[in-house]
Structure 1
């Protein structure tokens, strides 16, 4: 499964060194329909791309959507900060049921 969307970089006040990009409602809905994609607690392993930077991450369920963590190394490489609007691609591996 692959998705590409535009989203605003947000901050979640939790114990993580990341900013996040929420998935759009239609992407979140499609992911929720596929519980077999989760490796636990609703998290889904994914490959992501912002600009020219590829990275491995996990989509995290939060408030009816999924959050895509933007690692600090990606923030630096792509000059991404809180409130920026980015185009992000994600690829989720199909898991055997």
Structure 2
């Protein structure tokens, strides 16, 4: 399953550091939930991601507050693509577990 979407960056702050994420649109998240796949911790789904010229493998996680999966944005990706702490990014995502 291949997905492309534009998502808004948001910050989640823990006691020790800040984490940055992009939420998938709720309708795409619903489509992903429908695909049978192996059970993983925290409801994670393995994905291959492309933002700009940077490609990496990670997992998306369900976020009950947003009713959608969220994609973590690693610092290395944000630095490589000049992504700031807010704004929107174009994401190409391939679901590997589907």
TM-score band by shorter chain is: 0.7 to 0.9
Gaps of at least 5 residues in structure 1 are none
Aligned pair 1:65/2:86, yes or no?
no
Q: Distance in 2 between matches of 1:38 and 1:74?
A: 27
How large is the Cα RMSD of the aligned pairs? 1.8
Gaps of at least 5 residues in structure 2 are none
User: Which residue in the other structure is 2:12 paired with?
Assistant: 12
Q: TM-score, normalised by structure 1?
A: 0.86
Q: Structure 1 residue aligned with 2:79, among 76, 86, 93?
A: 76
User: Which residue in the other structure is 2:55 paired with?
Assistant: 54
CA shift, 1:94, in A, is: 3.9
Q: TM-score, normalised by structure 2?
A: 0.85
